[in-house]
With several copies, the nearest count.
Chain A
Amino acid sequence: MVQPSADESLDGFRARVRAWFAENVQLTGGVKDESFDAVDVARRFQAALFDARLAGLTWPAEYGGQGLTTAHQLAFNEAAEPYVVPTMPLLIGLGMCAPTLLEKGTQEQREEHLARMLRGDEVWCQLFSEPGAGSDVAGLRTRAVRDGDDWVVTGQKVWTSGAHYSDYGLLLARTNPDVPKHLGLTMFVVDMRAPGVTIRPLRQITGGSGFNEVFFDDVHVPGDAVVGEVDRGWQAAVTTLMNERVSIGAGGGGLGRRLGGGEFAALADLARRRGGLADPVLRQSLASVFVEERLLELLSSRIREDVRAGRTPGPQGSVAKLAGAQLARHAAEVGLEVLGSGGAAWESDDADAERWTQALLGAPGNAIAGGTPEIMKNILGERVLGLPREPAVDRDVPFRELRVGGGRS
């Protein structure tokens, strides 16, 4: 294995990364879902990366990082780009939880967890969303009440990716309901195997279960698990959310390949095999899918260029999210259009019908997960175009008096 030297140049570093990937290619690729196997693959990959001193490039050396520059990170991203980097199950921990601990955590928290996260020894999840607090995260109701030096947590979280394989979670809970909603929240590190934590997979309309519900039933959390200050958890949560899309450690590759996954080619092939490629009306739909997909590729390649060049990406990220959801829905509808009545009923060995009905069922969730279109458009309107926010009605009201959640149907 190529070892780093004290006076390694950026070019030398890049060559070392390339060499490492070439040597360790058996550790990468081929893993696409979040099953337990995927976690094991991710842990092994991350451990090897850590041992090669290629994990946590810009993190301080005292917490297991390499203390290198952003230029090194960009060089790494460039060298890694040809590979599928199988770290998806670790990204919430490395990309969101770790930066939060670095910025807001105590010295003890950083020393206890960061290096272990960086080695893949600890997998983390994020526990913010609740049934009553979706788009409005700060409206959460999970309570943490003092019990001597400890805290006792009761409540329910939802849409927690990876809760079932995580060792720790970053929890946001309400510690003071008598102040406005943003002012009474505290962030905690919680042990996902502590007594009283119950994890239930959440079945989606596709039949799959990528997310979980997490129930806290009088879960004891030690006093030193507070991240940042008591009642100042919203500031810590903003740190977490701001890091949501920043790629840390081994990340950076794969975005372009994940977006726009060849829907047009698949649809054209479907239309050729099942008939319809000669239908002028269907050809219009197919061409529209091609256009949408091409534009998404162009957008994500522009995002990658920006990231590579160290520029903050423009609005293309939010645009790509919205356009991606639109493409997924559009492609699925065209798929059903090609299948016709064969998309309403099919024999169990009909892989085409399975694929496109699953796509149709997955499309609404695609649009909702990671920010509803409404929230994304608010962001574009307010942060990019500079349009004013709505008048807030919940800023100065004690949380106790605020109506949150609900929803009957």
Chain B
Amino acid sequence: MSAPTVAGDLRASVRGYLESAAPEAEVRRIAETPSGSDPAVWARLADLGLTGLGVPEDFGGAGAGFAELGVVLEELGRSLLPAPFFSTAVLGVQALLLSGDAAAQAEYLPQVAEGRLRVAVGTVGASTVAAVPGSRGWLLDGLADGVLDGATADLVLVFAAADDGPALFAVPADAAGLSRTPLRTLDLTRRQARVELHATPAVLVGSAGDGGRVAAALLDRALAALAAEQVGGAQRVLEMAVEYARTRYQFGRSIGSFQAVKHRCADMLIDVERARVAADAALAAVDTSAADLPVAARVAGTFCGEAYFAAAASNIQVHGGIGFTWEHPAHLYYRRAKSSQLLFGSPGEHREELMRQLGH
């Protein structure tokens, strides 16, 4: 079986599932529930083998690489289905894999693959947690802000500063002194939480002092994964705009026959095509452990974020008044696009880091 076929099959099966099980009304329903997610959906994603897609086969997963993860993320980006895929199946799994901690992997990854464990990761930038050794293990104090799906996860992984440097820790949802506050979010289809820790017992994952390396590598992977999701969303709003422009008639003509609208759609296409090659290159750089992954990840991070937001705004513009109503899905993508742009650093920060990575 050749790679395109695997990817094609995966795409068809994920899209088929999402189109039948998660139409817009269902996405809105789940987004409006108190927790912002639906355990039944997660169970179904597990049945489809998606929660464990990136989990090595030894731990009950499919052992797929970022090429395949990217396919799923792209489809989820199209659908906006609120589910903790990005937090658990990307950030959580990758953090555990990068930590090199075989025990933690053996404990958690099979549960992720089975859909029994949702994992949230406090990314290092937004975290001010300190770890001290206590009498019966480590104790954490501090807060991690903007943790994706942080309020509903069964396990929270946080980076904390210890004497030997930063390290990754695992905190179960029922740990003492752990409090999680759901935040208001611009993006209505992905929740975030503030995670506070007060003398909270935690388990070291990986080696003490190794958290900096894990966090940096995790950030590269997060950017590559997010880029795939952004491409999916951008492609979807492009299709939405084109479909509307084709079928909306004003002045006796399809509005898509007017150059102002046609060229706006063409500009969206130009951005989407470029975002796609950027995302694909970043995903491939993860899979091939390419030395320039940090560069490829930031090229994707800056471009895909800006392209998606521009496309989401253009989509509203093409729709005119109707695009500005709550009932129309255009704003769900506009919100997701801007929110995504801010998740792991802004486009400006990515550009500055890019210059550093390029040795300038």
Q: Of the candidates A314, A316, A341, which one forms a contact with B343 in the assembled complex, judged by CB atoms under 8 Å apart?
A: A341
Q: Of the candidates A286, A299, A393, which one forms a contact with B251 in the assembled complex, judged by CB atoms under 8 Å apart?
A: A393
Please give the distance in Å from B239's CB to the nearest CB on chain A.
8
Interface centre among B145, B262, B331 (most CB of A within 10 A): B262
Contact between A364 and B334, CB atoms less than 8 A apart: yes
Closest to A373 in B: B317
Contact status of A360 and B338, CB under 8 A, knowing A290-B299, A341-B343, A385-B269: yes
Q: How many residues of A contact B (CB 8 A)?
A: 92
Closest to A367 in B: B317
Find chain B residues with CB under 8 A from A408 CB: 243-244, 247
Contact status of A203 and B244, CB under 8 A, knowing A319-B274, A347-B184, A391-B253: no
Contact flags A365-409 to B (C-beta < 8 A → 1, else 0): 101110011101110111011111111111001000011111111
Complex Cα distance, B354 from A376, in Å, reads 31
Q: Of the candidates A339, A344, A354, A378, which one forms a contact with B185 in the assembled complex, judged by CB atoms under 8 Å apart?
A: A344
Complex Cα distance, B270 from A314, in Å, reads 12
Contact between A286 and B355, CB atoms less than 8 A apart: yes
Contact between B342 and A336, CB atoms less than 8 A apart: yes
Contact between A284 and B360, CB atoms less than 8 A apart: no
Q: Which of A71-79, A85-93, A134-142 contacts its partner?
A: A134-142
Contact between A284 and B348, CB atoms less than 8 A apart: yes
Those of A308-353 within 8 Å (CB) of chain B: 314-316, 319, 322-323, 329, 336-337, 339-348, 350, 353
Please give the distance in Å from A116's CB to the nearest CB on chain B.
31
Find chain A residues with CB under 8 A from B328 CB: 409
Complex Cα distance, B349 from A341, in Å, reads 12
Please give the distance in Å from A343's CB to the nearest CB on chain B.
6
Q: Does A232 make an interface contact (CB < 8 A)?
A: no
Q: Of the candidates A381, A394, A405, A406, which one forms a contact with B265 in the assembled complex, judged by CB atoms under 8 Å apart?
A: A381
Find chain A residues with CB under 8 A from B303 CB: 291, 295
Interface centre among B246, B258, B273, B352 (most CB of A within 10 A): B273
Closest to A363 in B: B313
Contact between A204 and B277, CB atoms less than 8 A apart: no
Contact between A299 and B194, CB atoms less than 8 A apart: no
Q: Does A199 make an interface contact (CB < 8 A)?
A: no
Contact flags B245-273 to A (C-beta < 8 A → 1, else 0): 11111111110111111110111011001
Please give the distance in Å from B110's CB to the nearest CB on chain A.
31
Contact status of A409 and B183, CB under 8 A, knowing A204-B326, A268-B358: no
Q: Does B43 make an interface contact (CB < 8 A)?
A: no
Find chain A residues with CB under 8 A from B274 CB: 295, 298-299, 319, 323
Contact status of A203 and B321, CB under 8 A, knowing A344-B146, A344-B187, A394-B252: no
Contact status of A404 and B249, CB under 8 A, knowing A283-B360, A315-B273: yes
Q: Does B35 make an interface contact (CB < 8 A)?
A: no
Contact between B253 and A344, CB atoms less than 8 A apart: no
Task: A287-B302, A291-B278, A295-B278 given; name 10 further pairs at CB < 8 Å.
Answer: A284-B348, A290-B358, A294-B281, A346-B184, A385-B265, A387-B246, A402-B252, A407-B248, A407-B249, A408-B247
Residue ranges of B at the interface with A (Cβ–Cβ < 8 Å): 125-126, 145-146, 181, 183-187, 192, 194, 238, 240-254, 256-263, 265-267, 269-270, 273-274, 277-278, 280-281, 295, 299, 302-303, 313, 316-317, 319-328, 330-331, 334-335, 338-339, 342-343, 346, 348, 351-352, 354-355, 358, 360
Can you show 21 pairs from A to B with CB atoms below 8 A apart? A135-B250, A181-B252, A205-B326, A283-B351, A287-B351, A294-B299, A295-B299, A299-B274, A319-B274, A339-B342, A341-B145, A343-B186, A345-B183, A360-B338, A364-B313, A374-B258, A387-B242, A388-B256, A392-B252, A404-B250, A409-B319
Residue ranges of A at the interface with B (Cβ–Cβ < 8 Å): 129, 131-136, 139, 158-159, 181, 202-205, 207, 268, 272, 277, 280-281, 283-284, 286-288, 290-291, 294-295, 298-299, 302, 314-316, 319, 322-323, 329, 336-337, 339-348, 350, 353-354, 357, 360-361, 364-365, 367-369, 372-374, 376-378, 380-382, 384-394, 397, 402-409
3 A-B pairs closest in CB distance? A394-B252, A407-B248, A287-B351
